[in-house]
Amino acid sequence: MTLRFTNWLSRLSPGTWVVLVLALGSSVIVFVQGKFERTGMPFWVFNKVHFTTYQPFVDRWNSEHPGTRVDMFLIQLDAFERRLLSGFTAGTPIGEILETERRVATRTFLGPEETVGFVDLADRLRDEGLLETINRPSFAPWTSRGRIYGIPHDVHPMVLCYRADLIEAAGIDLAVVETWDEFARALRPLMKDFDGDGRPDRFPLAGWPSNHLFVESLLRQGGGRYFDEDGRPEIDSDLNARLLATITTWTAGPDRICTDVPEQVASGNQMRRDGTVLCQLMPDWMVGQWKRDLPELAGKVKLMPLPAFTPGGRRTSVWGGTMLGIARNAPDFESAWAFAKALYLSPELAEVTFRGTGIITPVKSHWVLPVFSEPDPFFCGQPAGRLFIEQAPDVPVRSSSPFERLALERVKVAAIALRAYANREGKFTTEALIPEAKRLLGIARGEVQSHIDRNLFLDS
């Protein structure tokens, strides 16, 4: 028997040996981890800046609450997503306090309510008055089927950042601009051909159809949405078609006002330095990035509300979002809840976060803190925090559908195709593009609906 077993082992391929060794090693690790005693509440964070910001607060909490220690871990977002979903579906070890981004959180809402791994906080939030304390629209991404699974970290309103040095030197006053049509008329004279090749080398606005967040933000600003209150897709609504057609007129044809400026890369930042683009949609979190990556623009840029699509319309939008939730299997919910409130409701954290990142707090009572009214030299002395806070109550409500990411991608495909159609057919007006926009968005809706129909747990 021993000889036969030895012969069998000798016939195993190298790949099989690798699999066996990895399986054995992982089993040992899981066994050993199971023997470890719990020393503190694991707190998972995916953002390095947040991790650094929170560390003094965590240290203070641990010194003041030795019996409810918090152990904070920084986990890269993709790994965070895999481990979180594995923990919720297969019971593998995960954090007990979980700060996660919108695209990850919504994926946990895919199954029935009893399979959502976060604690439903709706009753606690209501009973403790936090639904009124915190900016109400900021709860939307963390709300599924009437239950709330996280405390908002942020609001992320958007404003327009513009090159005041170049625009004001040309005698243009953007303060009198209310709509996007007025914006285009005011800045089109600054579109210059500096190298004589017959094409503009300066554009009024950064944005492109392949940037789904650019398209999404503008659709939301104009009142469009991808899902209704019950999670049913309405991607091809008449309003969405009109808005997408309008945005396409900005990116197509010989008179386009937009150009493609990559985000968070050297080439895009150089275009901003050079004045290739004069204006950009700016959520509050982008303020910190510009100050770190584009110090040369200090004193050259200003902020203003977004131009509206129609007179009197919404002048902000929203981009991004993070929440703090508590795992349903956390052994000490009360301690985790106490820590979550101490962290997210802290006025000190609101100030430190804003100074370090530009992100405003969703806690409305903190909006009166002096830090938000301080003149900001980067923005020519404007009180940047106050400008964002003024727009915070009007940010669009976002869907928490687990199919939101798929919808974003499909609408991006439609936006790219519509621009190509406009250039190919020579159609550069909103009215001329609406029928094709409606058709392309209909294809997108059908693709999203087909995925929803395959989900046995959600009503379609």
Residue indicated by tokens 């036969």: 4
CB count in 10 Å sphere of residue 260: 16
Token digits of residue 346: 């802290």
DSSP 299: T
* Per-residue pLDDT at 32: 44
pLDDT of residue 10: 56
Secondary structure (3-state) at 111: coil
pLDDT at 14: 55
- pLDDT at residue number 199: 81
The whole-number pLDDT of residue 35 equals 41
Q: Token pair of 106, please?
A: 């919504």
Q: What 3-state DSSP class applies to 3?
A: helix
Q: pLDDT of the chain along its 460 residues, tens only?
A: 444 544 544 555 555 544 444 445 444 444 444 444 457 899 999 999 999 999 999 999 999 999 999 999 999 999 999 999 999 988 899 999 999 999 899 989 988 888 899 999 999 999 999 999 999 999 999 999 899 999 999 999 999 999 999 999 999 999 999 999 999 999 999 998 777 777 888 999 999 999 888 999 999 999 999 999 888 999 999 999 999 999 999 999 988 999 999 888 899 999 999 999 999 999 999 999 999 999 999 999 999 999 999 999 999 999 989 999 999 999 999 999 999 999 999 999 999 999 999 999 999 999 999 999 999 999 999 999 999 999 999 999 998 999 999 999 999 999 999 999 999 999 999 999 999 999 999 999 999 999 998 875 555 4
User: What pLDDT is stored for residue 97 in this prediction?
Assistant: 97
Per-state percent for the chain, helix, strand, coil, to nearest 5 = 55, 15, 30
Short-list 129, 145, 127, 148, CA closest to 137 = 148
Q: Which residues pair with 382 in a beta bridge?
A: 376
Where residue 320 falls (left for φ over 0; alpha for ψ -120 to 50; beta otherwise) is: left
* DSSP per-residue codes, 167-182: HHHTT--GGG--BHHH
pLDDT at 103: 87
Q: Who contacts 29 (Cβ-Cβ below 8 Å, separation ≥6)?
A: none
**Model pTM?**
0.87
Confidence at residue 130, expressed as pLDDT on a 0 to 100 scale = 96
What tokens does 138 get?
A: 């900021």
DSSP 329-344: T-S-HHHHHHHHHHHH
Q: What is the set of domains in the chain, with CATH numbers?
A: 39-152+320-373 (3.40.190.10), 159-317+395-453 (3.40.190.10)
Work out the angle at residue 423's Cα, subtended by the Cα atoms of residues 417 and 429, and round it to the nearest 5 degrees. Answer: 95
Tell me the Cα Rg of the chain.
25
Nearest CA among 279, 269, 288, 32 for reference residue 174: 279
* pLDDT given for residue 110 in this prediction: 86
Angstrom distance (rounded) from CA 426 to CA 444: 23
What is the distance between the alpha carbons of residues 100 and 326, in angstroms, rounded to a whole number? 11
Pairing of strands 322-326, 97-101: antiparallel
Reading the block at residue 184, the tokens are 């285009």
